[in-house]
Structure 1
Amino acid sequence: MQPPGSGETTPGGTKPCPYCGRPILVKALQCVHCKRWMPELRRPPSPPQFEATEFSRGQPAAHLLVLSILTLGLYEFYWFHRNWRHFSEHLGRPLRPGWRTLGLLVPGLNIFLVYDQLRMIADAAGRAGVAVSYSPGVATAVFFALAFLSNLTMVWALSLLTVLPLLPVQETLNRFWVGQQPDRPMRREFTGAELLAMIAGVSMVAAALLGTLAG
């Protein structure tokens, strides 16, 4: 038996491992016995580990505008739900986002819920020293006035404008979350779910227009 590390090959196409002395193939890169890599080779580098970026809870106001219009206002329900969920986690209070979102479908109660959320955001921003660029009462009044006018005049396009009083709220939220999550960047791209929602909204509008023209 050859001593470990002799490096001599045998007629069978094997050579002793320079570490444990057991026979391995001449072209082996790693010993099958002791699992050590051959000295003439460096161990292949591990593949780079990519960590998923954690984004802040902010959202570009332009994204809110586009998503609301292209989903025919349905995105606003998710927007309110997301804010309740975020503040429930941030404040450590059981705000019950799901029940509150369902409450938006109840006339009268929805006015209170919208005002309560906008006031909660303004209060939290004020305590954090963040400039509040809207009035909760005025924003709530404009939001429901636009919704009421769209129902009264049967001009459904007016309902798409309900997002306008929410834009300064989103800008206030962005400033607030920058202060709370300074190490997290804001997502600037639409997510896959948001793109699907916009495509579905555009498809619904196109189908409605085609149906009107065909009739």
Structure 2
Amino acid sequence: MGEPRRGRVRVEILPGQGDRDILRHTVATMSKVLVVDDHPLVRQGLVRILEEGGLQVVGEAATAEEALEAVACGPDLIVWDWTIPGGGAEALEAVRQRYPGAKILVITAFPSPGLARALRDLGVQGFLPKTASPEEILDACREVLSGGERLPQAPDLSPREREILEGISKGLGNRELAATLGISVKTVENHLERLKAKLGCKSTAELRALALRGLIPR
């Protein structure tokens, strides 16, 4: 990973901003950030955005294993790419256990309402798509560092929908789900269509993958 990188410290106060915005900028410039992304160009781009925005980047990692080591630098915020090697819910939980003081902002090229809800359940404070602008990334970092959240509103799931998700995570097909839950195959199909719409999935296979990765919304 090389030596930890340090950014410039700068308090940025813009005309017309209220006390809350001033506090967010001040807190951010005194905070340390760890950037975790397995694509060097993306990681370097994030580092540049954060440093130019006045945050202090104190470490970089390309895998979940490296991230677990890098939290020794004591970051206030971890900017975490969801799809890094070895990543996922278990890796995030391991990082949180090793360094519970760090706030986490997850970025991903494949955002979905289901993932956003699951990250909230995991205790993540922020979630952004990789299509976010530099300004949006900086604003989200400052919001999270100042004690706020940057998480989209997640859809509520009914008890039956949660049962359907648990069933497909166990490999049950539509007929098996219907028999297990005491409903018709058509009803199972209807529930699956609603789940796909709510969680931003295009297929039952995507729903299953979401469930298998430990991301069944509670």
Q: TM above 0.5, one fold? A: no
TM-score interval (norm. to shorter) = under 0.3
Greater relative contact order (Cα 8 A, min sep 6): structure 1 or 2?
Answer: 1
Task: Report the TM-score, using the length of structure 2 for normalisation.
Answer: 0.21
- Structure of larger gyration radius: 1
Task: Report the TM-score, using the length of structure 1 for normalisation.
Answer: 0.21
